[in-house]
Structure formats: structure tokens, C-alpha cells
Amino acid sequence: MKTIITVAPTGAWPSKKDNPNIPLTPKEIAEDVYACYKAGAAVAHLHMRDDEGKGTMNKEKFEETVALIREKCDIVLNLTTSGDLYATDETRQAHLKSIRPELASYDCGSMNWMHNSLFINHPKFLEELGKTMYEYGVKPEIEIFDAGMIYNSLYYLKKGVLKAPLHYQFVLGAAGGTAATVENLVYLKSLIPEGSTWSALGIGRGHLPIMLTAIAMGGHARVGMEDNVLFSNKELAKSNAQFVTRIANIIKEVGNEVATSDDAREILGLRRN
């Protein structure tokens, strides 16, 4: 079996104060992604930061970073459609239209975020985003923070906003969402349609249990400083490639193969744009 490693190098929230090794600028992100690609990552899930280090949906930042990555390698690019709580429906989609990445996040519902704000994914926006993605050849990665979001995805599948086979990313451990436990991952995976592909991640201390469980269950996994700045209990990660190297070694130890970017394209049914 081939297991896809996704690396999420940056996210919208961790800062250099949390870990000085987190990449924030387009150049830093591109160099980091290339190192992860060489270590075994097949997919890179990208967020952008503004000049002050805050999460942004600035189209030009995405374009600059993607261009720098494309000069180095052909890793599958999965661009976020969130990460800036002040973004509009338009700015959350503009980069998809100009870049046409192979994958992009589709956060399938709204939630209380970190107990201090709202992460809004209005039904009208989700219908519009689904149409934009299919029009521009972008496959949705359906982000699942709780079980209700899976049922939302089934509604949009029935309505034709989403199209099978679906690809899910279980995001466990976010404050306001489902806790990062093995039992929760098994339950959530049981709800998705037959024939779907899936990946999982655990935020913070849930990182290793969810990663190991996903591999054991035949899924794929995501690692990186978006979700966890510590490599071990008291050790800051030196780089995102350090996370990728660890999971690549585990995948090999259990008898699986580390999927290449082209393997990921075949497994996920991606269309090169």
C-alpha cells in the first residue's frame, strides 16, 4: 500500500515565538516545502502570512510562493481557503482562479474557533466554493472538525455541489472541534462514503496517536508545524522535514510505501492544471 504524506508547514497562527523554525515568507515556505518533498512529502498544504506574520488570503502571496515551489519540484499543492477570519467569500477563492491548484481545502461547516472567535463557512459560500473548485479543476479536500461536517458533505454530495469520490481530511484536536482520540478517528472514518479517500491529523499532543492510527487503518496522514510545533514532549521541531522523515520511516517500517507526488495524483484522482 502507498501512503500519502501531506506536510502543512505554516498554518495561520503559529509564530516565530512558538517555534523560530516555522517558515513564514514565500521564500522560507518554498525552501521548506522542497526539503519536505525530498524527505517524502507528496502534498503541501499551504497557508500564507502577511508582512506582519498574520494569516492572509492575499492572492499575490500565494502566487509568489507557488511560483517559487514550482521552480524546485512538482509536489501536489493543496491551497487553503481559510486562515484569515476577516477574509471575504471572494478573497477566499481568488487564488484558486488564478493558480488552479490540484487540491484546496473545503471546510465543511462553521464552528466556534479556539473558544474566542467564529470560523464561518456559510451554506451559500460552500455551494459557491464547490462550484468554483469544479469549474477551475480543483479537487476539494473536505476538512472535518466534527461529525456534523461529514453529514454536511453528504448533503452537498447528494445536491451535486460535491462529486464522488470524495477526499476527506480529519482535523482532530482543535479547540471547539472533536478531540484527537483514536476512538473519535475510528468513528469519523466510519461515516464517510465507501470509495472515499481520507487523511488525518492530530493537533498538538494528539499528533502521534492520530498519525499512527491513520497509518494502521490504511489512511493517509498530515504532519507539520501548522498543527504541532513540538517534535517530542519538550523538543521544538527543527524543521518540517524532520516530521516528514519520521513518518516516512514509520510507513516503511510497517511495510507500506511512501507515495510520490505522482502516486498521490493517481490515488486522489487529481487533474493537472
Average pLDDT over residues 148-177: 98
pLDDT at 86: 85
Average pLDDT over residues 140-155: 98
Average pLDDT over residues 93-111: 98
pLDDT at 85: 80
Task: Specify whether the CB–CB gap between 261 and 254 falls below 8 A.
Answer: no
Average pLDDT over residues 191-215: 97
pLDDT at 2 > cutoff 80: yes
pLDDT at 149 > cutoff 90: yes
Would residue 114 count as lying in a domain?
A: yes
pLDDT at 233: 87
Would residue 273 count as lying in a domain?
A: no
Pairing mode of beta strands 197-202, 220-223? parallel
Dist. CA 159–CA 68, nearest whole Å? 38
pLDDT, tens digit, 9 for 90 and up, residues 36-84: 999 999 999 999 999 999 999 999 999 999 999 999 999 999 999 998 9
pLDDT at 14 > cutoff 80: yes
pLDDT at 18 > cutoff 90: yes
Proportion of the chain above pLDDT 70, given as a percent = 100
Would residue 254 count as lying in a domain?
A: yes
Would residue 14 count as lying in a domain?
A: yes
pLDDT at 5 > cutoff 90: yes
> What band does 6 get if pLDDT is binned at 50, 70 and 90?
very high
Number of domains in the chain: 1
Dist. CA 75–CA 38, nearest whole Å? 10
pLDDT at 273 > cutoff 90: no
Secondary structure letter of residue 204 according to DSSP = G
Would residue 214 count as lying in a domain?
A: yes
Residue 15 domain boundaries: 2-268
Question: Helix or strand or coil: residue 158?
Answer: helix
Cα first-last separation, the chain: 27
Proportion of the chain above pLDDT 90, given as a percent = 95
pLDDT, tens digit, 9 for 90 and up, residues 108-137: 999 999 888 899 999 999 999 999 999 999
Q: What is the CATH number of the domain that holds 202?
A: 3.20.20.70
Looking up cell 474566542 gives 116
Would residue 217 count as lying in a domain?
A: yes
Would residue 162 count as lying in a domain?
A: yes
What residue ranges in the chain does DSSP mark as E strands? 2-3, 5-7, 43-46, 48-49, 55-56, 76-79, 103-107, 111-113, 117-119, 139-144, 167-172, 197-202, 220-223, 230-232, 235-236, 257-258
> Who wins on pLDDT, 271 or 35?
35
Pairing mode of beta strands 220-223, 5-7? parallel
Dist. CA 57–CA 25, nearest whole Å? 14
Please state the φ and ψ torsions of residue 20, each to the nearest 5 degrees: -65, -10
pLDDT at 234 > cutoff 90: no
Would residue 54 count as lying in a domain?
A: yes
Cell of 62: 500565494
Give the global pTM: 0.98
